[in-house]
Amino acid sequence: MNGILPVFAHLAIVMALSPFFFGVTARVKAVFAGRVGPPLVQPYFDIVKLFRKKCVYSRTTTWVFRASPVVVLAAVMAFSLTVPFGEIRAPLGFPGDILLAAYLLALARFFMIAAAMDTGSSMEGLGASREAFFSCFSELALFMNFIALASCSGNISLSRMIGEEMPLSGGTLTPALILVVSSFFILLLAENCRIPVDDPDTHLELTMIHEVMVLDHSGIDLAYLLVAQTAKLFVFSAIVVQMIVPGAAGDRAVGIGIYLAGMMFVSILIGVVESCMARLRLDRVKYLLLISFGLAFFGFIVSLWRK
């Protein structure tokens, strides 16, 4: 039982906190647009509302379509287990778990794409093809980030690369860290369908990527996908925060405070970026992701140089 308890605690934190930060970002965007905006807890309401609804399935779909929300949610949650949240250590950690993390994300993406294709709708196929194309570049960047982090910390376990044992901030490797953080932030925006890449608010089929793929999902299935989406954003933000403040040594309460403040900051930053930037033209998204790769690569080189 001892091994299981932290896992549930971890999952509970993700589920409980992630919609809140999702709401923060939405609020920031509303303020920038001059609106009052929805309450901060609106994502909770949305999720609860969706859980109370029935699913509707198209007759052309198969089991793939039905399985995909479950698999996506499970994969994202499993991914979250490899990431520490401030003072709370990651329940799942072993050398080489970066590969597990990366492929859990890939699994989630694969099922999203497969389900979108399964509907047989041309619009969802469009979204699926865009998602597949951009993931080619974003995975490249993700792996380069992991390599750079591994080179900085000398570890190949995600929780240790960004955890307490990382000798990054304040040390000689700080320039490399700056590069990796900025690279990862671009990746965060791309992976979570935020603005320079994808617009989470729009329902125009011309521009969207993620939203178009979930068009046919409804009820509990859609709730699962929404939870997975918020959780993914939460975990990515957690990684960014963790890279900047890798576990404050000392008082536990202060540590948690700093951590929550960091999360808050990242969520607001995402909102600001989304409000200030325009969506990139679709054929230029790949350049953004290549720059993310380039930054991570540069960080990797600097870390080798400074060793």
Partner 1 sequence: MAIWLDASCILIVFFSLAIISTYRTVGMIRVFALQSFVLSLTPLFMHADALSVRDATLFVGTLALKAVLVPYILTWAIRHVSMRAETKSIIGLGASIMGGTLLIAGAFWVASSLKLPGTQVSDLIIPCSLATVLMGFMIMVTRYRAVTQVLGYLVMENGIFLFALSLFDAMPLLIEMGILLDIFVAVFIMAIVINHINEEFESAPAASSYSKMGESP
Return the number of the residue (6 or 175) whose C-beta is nearest partner 1.
175
Q: Is 168 in the site for partner 1 (CB under 8 A)?
A: no
Nearest distance from C-beta of residue 284 to partner 1, angstroms: 8
Q: Are 255 and 245 in contact (CB under 8 A)?
A: no
Q: Where are the alpha helices (DSSP H) in 57-204?
A: 63-80, 97-118, 122-153, 158-161, 174-191
Which region, judged by CB under 8 A, interacts with partner 1, from 72-80, 98-106, 263-271, 292-300?
Answer: 292-300
The DSSP bridge partners found for residue 88 are 85
Minimum CB distance to partner 1 smaller for 7 or for 280: 280
Closest CA to 95 of 146, 169, 168: 146
Q: Does 6 bind partner 1 (CB under 8 A)?
A: no
Among 26, 50, 152, 302, binds partner 1 (CB under 8 A): 302
Report the distance separating Cα 154 and Cα 167, nearest Å.
10
Q: What are phi and psi of 203, to 5 degrees?
A: -125, 35
CA 85 to the chain's CA centroid: 14
Rounded to a whole number of angstroms, the minimum distance from the CB of residue 289 to partner 1 is 10
Nearer to partner 1, 161 or 302 (CB): 302
Candidate list 12, 94, 287, 307; residue touching partner 1; CB under 8 A:
287
For residue 243, give both structure tokens. 């890279």
The Cα–Cα gap between 137 and 306 comes to: 28
Q: Interface with partner 1 includes 8 (CB under 8 A)?
A: no
Using the minimum distance from each CB to partner 1, give the nearer residue, 8 or 305: 305
According to the binding rule CB under 8 A, does residue 272 interact with partner 1? no
Give residue for tokens 């995402």: 270
Q: Binding string to partner 1 for residues 128 to 167, with x set by CB under 8 A, is what?
A: ----------------------------------------
Among 131, 80, 140, 70, which residue's Cα sits nearest to residue 104?
A: 80
Do 98 and 156 form a contact (C-beta atoms < 8 A)?
A: yes
111 contacts partner 1 (rule: CB under 8 A): no
Tokens of 78: 């499993």
With binding defined as CB under 8 A, does residue 301 bind partner 1?
A: yes
74 binds partner 1 (CB under 8 A): no
The secondary structure of the chain in percent helix, strand, coil, rounded to multiples of 5, reads 70, 0, 30
Residue 215: count of CB within 10 angstroms of its CB: 17
Q: Which residue of 175, 196, 219, 255 would you call a contact of partner 1, by CB under 8 A? A: 175
Residues 177-196 that bind partner 1 (CB under 8 A): 178-179
Q: Which two tokens stand for residue 235?
A: 């975990």
- Residues 257, 77 contacting (CB under 8 angstroms): no
Comparing CB distances to partner 1, the nearer of 244 and 256 is 244
Of the pair 40, 291, the CB lying nearest partner 1 is at 291
Question: Binding to partner 1 by residue 255, rule CB under 8 A?
Answer: no
Strand partners, 85: 88
Binding-site residue total for partner 1 (CB under 8 A)?
19
Stretch that binds partner 1, among 8-16, 21-29, 214-222, 288-296 (CB under 8 A): 288-296
Binding site for partner 1 (CB under 8 A): 174-175, 178-179, 284, 286-287, 290-291, 293-295, 297-298, 301-302, 304-306
